[in-house]
Amino acid sequence: MEDRDEHYRNVFAELIREKLGLFRSIAARIVNTAADADDVVQAALLKAWIRRKSFKSDSAALSGWVCRIVVTESYDFLRKRLHEERKRNEMPEREFHDDSDLVKLDRAIAELPELYRETVHIAILSGLPGEEAARQLGCSPNTLYQRIYKAKSLLREILRRVDDE
């Protein structure tokens, strides 16, 4: 058992050394500040470490798994911050509106199914080359491009619906 825990420690330490910049970049693009991104990445890495025994794939796929945790933690952070702002302002959710295009796009991305939301953040917003993004998402480059196309189509639909409201 100790041998297995030592293996986990070594694999995680190597992952952090190699991918910390990527994790911070992904989180920063979602939460918009470096300090918040650091908090999100720390929470994500802690969550990944706690759940390490539930990871059933090989260590090559570990980076993609942790990237997905970073994306999820980033959105959880945003939801919590938005909830706290609304509570502070005592403003009901249905009255909260911000019409800037960036906010609309961010909200539309948040509405995407998780698979496409992860694709947008890792393949488009992180600035990774296509093959590296595909590797992080655990798919082939061809599948990645199909997901990007579908994500863009879904975003257009969501934004049209928002504009019609």
The region that residue 127 occupies, defined by phi over 0 for left and psi between -120 and 50 for alpha, beta otherwise, is left
**Separation of CA 131 from chain center:** 18
Give tens-digit pLDDT for 28-84: 988 888 889 999 999 999 898 888 877 776 666 788 888 889 988 988 888 888 777
What pLDDT band is residue 153 in, cutting at 50, 70 and 90? very high
**Pair 74, 40: CB distance under 8 Å:** yes
- Nearest-angstrom CA–CA distance, 39 and 33: 10
Domain boundary assignment for the chain: 1-96, 98-165
Q: Classify 90 in phi/psi space as left (phi over 0), alpha (psi -120 to 50) or beta.
A: left
Q: Evaluate if pTM is beyond 0.75.
A: no
Q: Look up the CATH architecture of domain 1-96.
A: Orthogonal Bundle (1.10)
List Cβ neighbours of 111 (8 Å cut-off, separation of 6 or more): 158
What confidence tens digit (pLDDT) does each residue in 87-104 have?
666 544 444 455 577 777
* Whether CATH 1.10.10.10 fits 98-165: yes
